[in-house]
Amino acid sequence: MAPVLTVQPIRVATSRHGDEGRLVLADGLLVAVLVLLSDQYGPEAGRWFLETGYGPVDGVTHPTFADVSEAQEWIAGRLATRR
Amino acid sequence: MPNPLIAKLEHGARLTDEDRQLLKKLTARRRHVGPYQDIIREGDMPEDVRLIMDGFACRYQILPDGKRHIMAYLVPGDICDFHVAILGEMDHNIGTLTSCSVVEISHETIHDITTKHRNLNRAFWWGTLVDEGILREWLVSLGRRSAAQRVAHLFCELLIRLQTVGLADQNSFDMPLTQEELADTLGLSTLHVNRMMQELREKGLITTASKRLTINDVERLQDIAQFNPNFLHLGPRENKANEDSRDVQPPAA
């Protein structure tokens, strides 16, 4: 059965004052930290960045997503292929 | 602008006027190569040695999943493997990042240098050892330095390498590398590079304006990067036994 993804808001110390972020959990296990990109990132501003991943989501790929649900879909895909 | 090959090799051996003349002749015929063109491809069996006289090139590999990693930058005066003709085939690509001026040295000329010109042979060997030194330092960066240190270390390195060939002043140089290229070099995402550059700018350590990078406080940036320039081997070795010393009598046994 596919793991249940849940999302929790969190502030992340990726800039001096912190950025808006999300912890993504799969069946209660932390698998990813997402960060909302601020204006300093130019055309990427407003997108969600895969700051870090754990387990099947770990790797050197750090994509950005239009919104959190798109990120969740991508994470679900990784979890499905790496099980 | 000085001849970058001569400027560089002056650090590798005590060149004579004859050596300099030969290097000048060697680098007279230059070929223009546009940006993002391969100079040598993986699998090639190059006979001739390529040398960058202007512009930036890199050694890179494309992984089966399409990811690129850059293993070296070639700046003016740098050689794409002096003894390349020994190898069965190339195990990576060398491509330009900007427009480049490239020189091709025939393997006959390389043979001539290695057998008849001891000074130059030594200087080219020094160049090869410096390339290895840089590679080792990059390995340390990838394995043990933080993202900020990796970026800072690379900028400190480029400043000195470009100063050596007359392409940087005390604290600034033209830096054509994109954040994507830096990311593929430093094992970071483009966004991480963006963030690190922002951090260095906010701290007043660097300024970037129209592709020129200024290091506002070289000493501080070197401190942050834990930068020790010894891997560039720019200090001459004052050891007569290691120089071309045909006219020096060996010590009595």
In chain B, what are the helix, strand and coil shares in percent, each to the nearest 5?
A: 45, 20, 35
CA–CA separation, A65 vs B78, rounded Å? 40
Q: Which residues, other chains included, contact B209 with Cβ-Cβ below 8 Å and sequence gap of 6+? A: none
Residue A27 scores a pLDDT above 50: yes
CA–CA separation, B168 vs B191, rounded Å? 27
Whether chain A has a CB inside 8 Å of the CB on B67: the answer is yes
* pLDDT given at position B182: 98
What pLDDT digit, counting tens, does each position of B152-163 carry?
A: 999 999 999 999
Residue A46 scores a pLDDT above 70: yes
Mean pLDDT over each residue of chain B, to the nearest integer:
92
Query: Which residues in chain B have their CB less than 8 angstroms from residue A44's CB?
Result: 191
Domains annotated for chain B, with CATH where assigned, are 4-244 (2.60.120.10)
Quote the number of domains for chain A: 1
* pLDDT given at position B243: 52
What was the ipTM of the complex prediction?
0.79
pLDDT < 70 stretches in chain B: 238-253
How many Å lie between the alpha carbon of B189 and the closest alpha carbon of chain A? 6
Domain with A66 in it: 5-81
pTM of the model: 0.88
What is chain B's length? 253
* pLDDT given at position B251: 53
Do the beta carbons of residue B45 and residue B132 sit within 8 Å? no
* pLDDT given at position B248: 43
Query: Over the range B130-165, which residues count as b (16 or more CB within 10 Å of their CB) and which as e?
Result: bbeebeebbeebeeebebbbbbbbbbbbbbbbbbbb
| Among the listed residues B233, B223, B160, the one whose alpha carbon sits nearest the alpha carbon of residue B9 | B233
How many Å lie between the alpha carbon of A64 and the closest alpha carbon of chain B? 9
